[in-house]
Structure 1
């Protein structure tokens, strides 16, 4: 689905977005493409109120995923954030791991 944090638009309501804008030399390769619904796609621009998209780096726990950077007025830190709403499998895995650690430490 849409990769902007907090958006729950499914993939069927999304279009392909170039993380590095095609008009600025961004390639049309899978590593530079992501999904964005029409509303969120329209938020990405170079104005002071525009959102930016980046590929999360090797040092990120979200390596290779799309990070969205909110405008300074919304997030002065400029922190890239990812959308976890469409990654339920990760939530389940984290919950299971947490539960195993909790019960494992009590049993010991």
Structure 2
């Protein structure tokens, strides 16, 4: 997260006018906090009702994934962490492949060169 936060902070500060940054930061904060609230609300249900039963002794994923995260009580949470990490990695790769996002630094450099 520190790498993501630092990157977005630099991009926003360089590419958005100072007068509009407050509005942009408020929207980013709203979306971020909304996502966190939804995640907190759903995580307990997912762990208790879906993921933990899948990795109990007679669960459906015991033979397929049990050797990675273990079998028994609370192993579903470990599976949730692994899935979350994989999803964040996939999103980071998709964002990195977006040419518009990758060239934001280049655009700023071109603006600076034009002013000199």
Bigger share in helix? 2
Bigger share in strand? 1
In the superposition, the TM-score normalised over structure 2's length comes to 0.27
Larger radius of gyration: 2
In the superposition, the TM-score normalised over structure 1's length comes to 0.29
